[in-house]
Every structure is written in structure tokens, then in C-alpha cells.
Structure 1
Amino acid sequence: MTDSPTAGNGNPVAPSGTRTAADVVTPDLVARLTRGVAGSGRTVNHTPLTGEKLAELPESTPEDVAAAYERAREAQKAWAATPVRSRAAVLLRFHDLVLARQSEVLDLIQLETGKARLHAHEEVLAVAVAARHYGVKAPSYLRPKRHTGAIPTLTKVRELRHPRGVVGQIAPWNYPLELSVGDALPAFVAGNAVVMKPDTETALTALWAREQLIEAGLPADVWQVVIGEGPVVGPAVVEHADYVSFTGSTRTGRDVATRAAARLIGASLELGGKNALLVLEDADLDKAAEGAVRACFSSAGQLCISIERLFVHASVADAFLERFTARTRALKLGTGLAYGAGMGSLAGERQLETVTRHVEEAVAKGATVLTGGRARPDVGPYFFEPTVLDGVEPPMAVCAEETFGPVVSVYRFTDEDEAVERANATPYGLNSSVWTKDTRRGARVAARLRSGTVNVNEGYAPAYGSVQSPMGGMKDSGLGRRHGSEGILKYTEAQTVATQRLLPMAPSLGMDDSAYAALMSRSLRVMKALRLR
């Protein structure tokens, strides 16, 4: 992994350092992490930083998946019987292990995804925050709740929360720590077991997280990992699950939802996005430009909530773009396992092909490249410069399709209503961003945007990091939410237990049917007058 100090007129290249993949992914590490993973065959994952082989991993069959569910179901019984505070304590110990050993997992994330180290660190932060939140709040989220009964004082009602059983989780490659264990933590603390299929190319990161969670006290069989091709292993994961958690493309999400619906089990789906950032005429342009770089190019744009569309007020567009393109052009590309690079690699050939196609087609149809626009094989096989396109119009693919790469299109608007309308004119609704010096105005605009999260004066991190609040997508961006109460209660079944005392819900004390009906009608009027819930 050796970088040249400069390369052409494009983005500069950060020093790479001396550590290599072989220094990190040793045979002992692979043997340790894959211990207990079901697999009748063998498969290989690679690093996008160089294209070289990282490790040989067990490859699971549908039969292996079924066996993993059997082990998980048996282990889940005892785990569900463990007091919730004891389960929560596992998450808090895991929190400490992740922070103490973060250099280990940062290396793995970089090697498996190709992202810059600072962007890999976002995953460490997100997982630690989720572990702390559910480690502290799970007992109150899951505590039995009292409700007003049908007849106050006579009807006693409690709402109980039971684990669903075994959750089937299909995790993506782009955030292999956060979108694997981060989504599994609330399922575990709610008393479930999990059978997870991580992406093969990023399985080592998920397996590292499993090792730490087991050390923190999770019974090993409660978290089963299966590895294999999505079309082979994915349907088997859904087939045996009591609930499904999926993060990935909208196309695959529809298939997962169909399979889950056929079995009458629930599913949460975080899917695609074509996220918009609005720069209003009163925005601080320097802060907006810096924030837009983070919003567009973190993890090389391979983030479901990253920005792909910039809507800039016409009166400040030139000034904003001057600042934004200068900062984009200054981003350092890098392959080193160290801090310093501003952007890393795309994940592989498929992503590089999509990004290249979107940019080349847009240019051929009249779009202008303000900066970037080309692959950088001099840095690594799948590097592509952070790219800003102007003059993008339908039917260019980049206008409406999710690129999932370091490419953003610029559009000018003249008033707030126009900006909101154009930002909402997409089948997706995952994340949005609004930049203005007037935060009250920003909040008003945010409420009009049809996306599950909106960030005012930042790109995505404040909403995502506020884990007490729900995060997820509207429209074609998915179903359900992670984080907060919704993020844990979705992994439970609600049960209402109502105990009737003293008098039955029927005529009694010598009343006939007519007298009982009259009494109950009067009682309802009284309860309304007393504003009883």
C-alpha cells in the first residue's frame, strides 16, 4: 500500500504508512474470529485498498443456516430468562471493550471497506453510543407498563414485552461494524438471539464485534453468524426468522419484505436514498461548504444517509460553489491504516462501474464537472475522485438513481418553496440537510421535508447520533426505525394482561340487560367528562 505524494491535477494523496494487510489479518486472527461459524465450504474476502485477498472464510449453506437457527433457539431460552439488567450490563461492558480496542477494529474496517480512518471511527462512535444508550435505557423501555383499564379501579391492565425469539439480520458491507452489531444490540438486550448474515467482504469486522460481545458476557450461541452469497444464504435467513432486520438496496428490501410478509413476521428495512442538502440564501457559506464536504464524501459517499443532491439558492450559488469545490479538490485520497486521508476507496468493481457510468453519462448529456470526475488507479484499484457535477437534468441517471459514491449534483433555486418541492421530488426519503443562520427557519423547512431524519446546519451525524430519537426512512427508503424506543420495541411482542376485579363486565347485582347498558353508557359519558384516557 504505497502512495505517490502527488498525482496529476486531482486530489492529493496522503502518505500511506508502513503497515500492510498481512500485518493485521494474520492466520491466527482469522482462526480466532471464525471459531464457531457455520460453514461447509470456503469463501474469500478481499481488501478494496489493493484488491488483494484478505482471508479465507467458512461459507454457509442453507442447511448450515437452519442448524444455526436451531442452536440460537436453544440458547435464546436461557438468555430471555436472564434479568434485563444483567443483559444490559453486557452492553455496557461491550461499550468499554470497543473503545479500548478500537485500533484493532479500525484496521479491519479500513481493510474491508477501503474507507478513510476518520470515517471508520464514525462506526466506533456509533456503536459505543448505541451500546451505552440501550445499556442504560433498556430496563425502562422493557419495563411492564400500567394502563387505564376498561373500567377504572375495576380493571387492572399491564403491558408486557416479550422477545420475538430469533432475529434474522442481513447486514451490508458499507458500515460493517455499526450496521451489524449496532443493529443487533437492542435485539440482544430485549432477550432475542440473532442469526446474522454479514456481507462476505466485510465479515471479519462483524466477527470481531461478536468476539468482543461474547467476552462482555453474551452467550456464544445467542449470536450466530452465517457467511455466503446473498441469493443463497439470504432467503434461508428470512425463512427461519421470527423477525427480520435488513439494511441494503430498495430492490432487495422489497424481496425481503415479500418473503417476511408471506410468513406473517415483521421486518424493519433501511433502504436507499437520494438525499438532499439545501443551502438557503442566509447560510454561513464557509460552514455550509465544510459541512457539505462531510455530508457528501464521508466513506466515499457509500453511506445511505450521505448527500447526493445539493440545492443552493441562486443568489449565493457561485460563492458557495467556489468554497465547496476548493475544499473538495483539497481532500487527500489515501490507503494508509492511519489518520490523515480525507477520503478512501470505493468498495469494489461494481461500485466503481456505477459511479463511472453516472458521471460519464451525465457529461455526455451536457453536465459539467466542476471538480473530480475520474478514477484514480494510481492510488488504488477502486478509487474515484470526489466529484461535483453542475447542469444535471433528467433523464441523466445521476439525477434520480442512487449513485452510492463520491458524486454530488448541484441545482439552483430561487425560493424556499421551490427548494422544498424539488428536494421532495424523489421516491426516496431517508435523510436531508438544511443550512441557514436562522435555526427557527431551518426547523420550519425541516418539517416540510419528507425524510425520516433532517439535520439543520450539519449533514447527517446529529440526527443519527441522537440515539434516543428514531432513525429510518420514508417512502422507498424503508420501513421501521432504529434507535430510541422504536429501535428496541420492534424486537418484542407486546402482550396486554387485563385483570378484572370485584364486578364482571356483564350485568350483575340484579341488573337486567337494559339497566346494564344504560349504566355503561352513563359511565362512558362520565369518563369523557373526566378526560380519562
Structure 2
Amino acid sequence: MTDTQAPDTAGTNPLAPAPVGARTAAEVVTPQLVARLTKGVVGSGTTANHTAFTGEKLADLPESAPEDVLKAFEAARAAQAVWAQVPVRRRAEVLLRFHDLLLERQGEVLDLVQLETGKARLHAHEEVQAVAVAARHYGRRATAYLRPKRHAGAVPTLTKVTELRHPRGVVGQIAPWNYPLELSVGDALPAFVAGNAVVMKPDTETCLTALWARDLLIEAGLPDGVFQVVLGEGPVVGPELVKHADYVSFTGSTRTGREVAVGAASRLVGVSLELGGKNAMLVLEDADIEKAAAGAVRACFSSAGQLCISIERLYVHESLADAFLERFAARTRAMRLGNSLAYGAEMGSLVGERQLKTVERHVQEAVAKGAKVLAGGVARPDIGPYFFEPTILDGVEESMAVCAEETFGPVVAVYRFKSEEEAVERANATPYGLNASVWTKSARRALDVASRLRTGTVNVNEGYAPAYGSAQSPMGGMKDSGLGRRHGSEGILKYTEAQTVARQRLLPMAPSLGMDDERYAAFMSRSLRLMKAFRFR
């Protein structure tokens, strides 16, 4: 694979090439590797995946039919019954061994992530970082999250209450293509340590990464039957997975998420959904514009904008808009695009033709209706079939699709505002509520503005990484951006069923000691008043 010097495009500087990598797709994805990774995948048909860098086929893969999904669940249920009996401490040790193996052999999975998604190597490394953090966190904290907990009983000293946590059984997980390591195995780790099995359907185009992670987890000590993978088209395999799962974890589009939620609700099983976003970045008048401009590049163009929590709307105070945009546009035009398996490129490719067409449609329609391109705006077939330059649009109006629709590509629309209240109101004026970014030198002001934004996470003086990387804290969306949370206590307890065990001692919860009903009711009423007076909770 090579990187190509960009041609001069209208009104912009050429984007510089990134270093050339030494490895090719054929050298990375060998028949031996594919055979090893697909061992145990239940499939009666054949499908294939392709590299985003060139569009060429990477591997032939087994394709699962509905009956294959059922077989995977049967195998997972048998394995889960045994796995659930393993002490939590020993299950957690698997995650900690996986953490070490992942860091030791990260080069292997970085190659796969790049080949399958087309992203730059540094952005692929974000996935390694996120999964290592999750493995360490749940490896260290799972015992505390899952241990039996004592609670105050109905009657002090007489009622002893213990809360137990049981695994749900077999979790059905539908993982997306854009973060094939983090949003597959990263979400599965807390399910495993909680005692569940997982049947996962990764996106076929990026499934080698998920299969590599499965292979590494088995090497770390996870029983192979506990982690089943099925491959196939979403409309075929997805409903079958929802049909058999004891709990469903889904990351993807809001439209499909609604369908998954309906299927899970019809069976009365739980579901967590991380869905779309149209995330806003607010640059307040006291922001450091140099840092904000550099941060905007990361926030808008990491993984070519194919990240649910990346920024697509940029609100800048009118007093510094011109100075900020001058710096932001200059940094954007200077970005290096590349398709090599090496560090150095600042942005890679879109994942495929569908994403490219959406990006082109949004940009071309906006320009036709009067928006101005400050940087980028064109495809780059000279580098690869799905490359598109990082793009800044000014003068975007509500009638343009890019204003409200999720682009999921390297495109950001810039808007000016006069007051903080206006910025917050406009940032909240969307059906989505996943992530936001606030830039200011005042910590107090940042917290005040963040508290008024209707998003599951808010990052101050950064785009998305601090909140997402803080694994002890919940991450997820409000409004149409989803249900439930990953990370922290919610990220593991959602994979469990809570059970309350209450033991009554000495006296029953009924009239006793010669009391009739009326005297018992009076006694309990006095007791309740006393418990309030003595501040019992």
C-alpha cells in the first residue's frame, strides 16, 4: 500500500502524504490467519469482507443462516452454565491476562483495524487504548461491583436484606463497523466477567478484528464456548439474535435501534442501545483559540468522522470566529491523508461507498444552496476509492441536510453565536443527545454550561476522549441517541439480574405477641414515626 501526494484542489493547499507502510493486505490477512480466526464460527454459507483502502477482497468467511444462530445460542447456553459457576475473581483474571496480551500483540490488531476500516493507525490505537482500559477496570473492579450487598431492612435489626447479582444468561450483541475492536469485545468484557456468555454479530466487513479479539480472549483463558460469533447480513442474522438472547446490546443507527428495541420488548428482555449523534462543540469567547483549533481537528476528523461521539456542529462566539476559523481551516488543510499500515497519517479513509455517497451528498447539496467550503470538500480517489478530504462548511442553513442529518464522515458545519444562552439552546436543538464539547478557560463556567446540555457526555477543552476514556463513569446517550450506559457500574450491572433476599428474625411481619389487627397497625404507625425521627433511611 502507498500514500499519494494530493493534487491541488480549488482554493486549498495540497494535503501532504503520510509515510508509506511496509506491509500489504495479503501479508497481513493470510489464509492461515483466516482459518484460525474463523474456527468455530457457525456458518452454512459463504460471504466475504473487503479492505476500505482499496475495496479489494480480504477474506472468504462463513455466513450464518437462522439455524446457525440457534446452534450458536445452544452452544453458548451450555458453556454459560459452567462459566457462571467460576468465581468472579477467576473470571476477572481472564480480563487482566487479556489486557497484557492485547498490549503485547497490538501490532497484529492495528493492521486488521486499519485494513477493515481504513482509519489512520493512531486512530486505530484509540481502540486498543479503550479496550485495555475497560479490561483493566472490570478486571480490578468486577468483584466489588458484583459482590453481595447488605441493605437496611423493613424493620431495623429484625429484617436482614442482601442484594445478589446473577448473570442474565446469553447476551446477544450486535456490533458496528466503525470501531470493530472497542465496540465488539470492549462491550463484551463486562458481560463475560459478570458470568454471561455472548453471541456476537459483528459487521461482516470488519469482523476479522472481532474474531482476532475472540481468539486472544480464549488464549487468555476464556472458554471458547462462552464467546460465539455469527456472521451475515443484518436483516437476516440480527432478528434471530434478538429472538434468542436473554439481553441485547446494540450499537448502530437510531432507525435500526428502534427495531431492536421493539424485538426485545416483545420478549420482555432488556436492551441497551448506543445510537446516532449530531454532536456540538461550543467555543466560548474566553476559549484559547489555538488549543480549540487543534482540538477541533481531533474532535471532527478522528477516524474520518465515523465516530458516534465526534463533532459535526461547531458553534463559535462571534467575537473570535474569524480568528478561530483561520487557524482551524489552516490546520485542516495541512492534514496528511494516508492508506499505509504505519503511523504518520492524520486521517484515513471512509469505510465504503455508502458512507462516501452520504458525505458527497451532504457537501454538494450544502454548496449548491449557498454554503461555503473553508477546507476540503472533495473526494480523493488518487489515494483510495473512499477517501474524502476533511471538510469545513460555513453558512449552513436549516434547509440543508448536513444541518440536521448525521453525516458520519469528515464534515463539520460552523455556526456563529452571540450569547452563551443562544449557544446552549442551539446545541440542544436536535433529536440527538450523545456527546458535546465545551471550550473555555473557566472551570466553573464549563460545568455550568455542561449541566445545561442534554447529552450523555460533555468534554471540556477536548472533543470526546476524556469522557469516553474514563471507564469508571457512565457513557451513553439521551433522547434519540439511545438507552442505557456502558462503562462504570451501569456498564456491568446491566448484564445482571438483581435479586433481593430478605430474612426476617424473631418477630413476623404480622400481628404477634397477643396484638390484634388494630393494635398491630397502631404499633407499626408509631414505629414508622420513630424511624423517621431517628433518620432511618
Quote the residue 1:23 is aligned against.
Answer: 27
Establish whether residue 471 from structure 1 lines up as the match of residue 470 from structure 2: no
Establish whether residue 278 from structure 1 lines up as the match of residue 282 from structure 2: yes
Q: Deviations over 1:325-351 (max 9, x none)?
A: 011111100000000000000000000
Taking the TM superposition and a 5 Å limit, the aligned residue runs for 1:30-69 are: 30-69=34-73
8 A contact 1:61–1:228 mirrored in 2: yes
Quote the residue 2:362 is aligned against.
Answer: 358
Quote the residue 1:80 is aligned against.
Answer: 84
Q: Deviations over 1:336-384 (max 9, x none)?
A: 0000000000000000000000000000011000010000000000000
8 A contact 1:168–1:245 mirrored in 2: yes
The alpha-carbon deviation at position 10 of structure 1 amounts to 3.5
Partner of 1:161, secondary structure, is strand
Taking the TM superposition and a 5 Å limit, the aligned residue runs for 1:447-466 are: 447-466=451-470
The alpha-carbon deviation at position 11 of structure 1 amounts to 1.8
8 A contact 2:6–2:382 mirrored in 1: no
8 A contact 1:391–1:410 mirrored in 2: yes
2:131 alignment partner AA: V
The alpha-carbon deviation at position 12 of structure 1 amounts to 1.9
The alpha-carbon deviation at position 392 of structure 1 amounts to 0.3
Quote the residue 2:5 is aligned against.
Answer: 5
Q: Percent of counterpart pairs with the same letter?
A: 80
Measure, in 2, the Cα distance between the counterparts of 1:338 and 1:14. 9
Measure, in 1, the Cα distance between the counterparts of 2:501 and 2:134. 31
1:157 alignment partner AA: V
The alpha-carbon deviation at position 531 of structure 1 amounts to 1.1
Quote the residue 1:137 is aligned against.
Answer: 141
* RMSD, aligned CA: 0.6
The alpha-carbon deviation at position 518 of structure 1 amounts to 0.4
The alpha-carbon deviation at position 6 of structure 1 amounts to 3.9
Measure, in 1, the Cα distance between the counterparts of 2:43 and 2:333. 45
Which of the numbers 415, 424, 444 marks the counterpart of 2:448? 444
Consecutive unaligned residues of structure 1, counting only runs of 5 or more, are none
1:42 alignment partner AA: T
8 A contact 2:5–2:15 mirrored in 1: no
Quote the residue 1:394 is aligned against.
Answer: 398
Measure, in 1, the Cα distance between the counterparts of 2:21 and 2:81. 48
2:163 alignment partner AA: E
Establish whether residue 250 from structure 1 lines up as the match of residue 254 from structure 2: yes
Q: Deviations over 1:68-119 (max 9, x none)?
A: 0000000000100000000000000000000000000000000000000000
8 A contact 2:174–2:250 mirrored in 1: yes
1:303 alignment partner AA: L
Quote the residue 1:156 is aligned against.
Answer: 160
The alpha-carbon deviation at position 16 of structure 1 amounts to 2.3
The alpha-carbon deviation at position 19 of structure 1 amounts to 1.3
Partner of 1:508, secondary structure, is coil
The alpha-carbon deviation at position 3 of structure 1 amounts to 2.4
Measure, in 1, the Cα distance between the counterparts of 2:193 and 2:153. 29
Establish whether residue 210 from structure 1 lines up as the match of residue 214 from structure 2: yes
Which of the numbers 166, 169, 186 marks the counterpart of 1:165? 169
Establish whether residue 405 from structure 1 lines up as the match of residue 433 from structure 2: no
1:5 alignment partner AA: Q
Measure, in 1, the Cα distance between the counterparts of 2:289 and 2:129. 28
8 A contact 1:10–1:385 mirrored in 2: no
The alpha-carbon deviation at position 17 of structure 1 amounts to 2.2
Taking the TM superposition and a 5 Å limit, the aligned residue runs for 1:345-384 are: 345-384=349-388
8 A contact 1:13–1:379 mirrored in 2: no
Partner of 2:84, secondary structure, is helix
Partner of 2:262, secondary structure, is helix
Quote the residue 1:189 is aligned against.
Answer: 193
2:5 alignment partner AA: P
8 A contact 1:116–1:339 mirrored in 2: yes
Measure, in 2, the Cα distance between the counterparts of 1:430 and 1:376. 30
Measure, in 2, the Cα distance between the counterparts of 1:346 and 1:182. 22
Partner of 1:470, secondary structure, is coil
Quote the residue 2:321 is aligned against.
Answer: 317
The alpha-carbon deviation at position 4 of structure 1 amounts to 2.4
Which of the numbers 90, 111, 121 marks the counterpart of 2:115? 111
2:363 alignment partner AA: V
Measure, in 1, the Cα distance between the counterparts of 2:188 and 2:290. 38
Measure, in 1, the Cα distance between the counterparts of 2:245 and 2:23. 41
Partner of 1:264, secondary structure, is coil
Consecutive unaligned residues of structure 2, counting only runs of 5 or more, are none
Establish whether residue 327 from structure 1 lines up as the match of residue 331 from structure 2: yes
Measure, in 2, the Cα distance between the counterparts of 1:432 and 1:393. 21
Taking the TM superposition and a 5 Å limit, the aligned residue runs for 1:330-341 are: 330-341=334-345
* Runs of 4+ with >4 A deviation: none
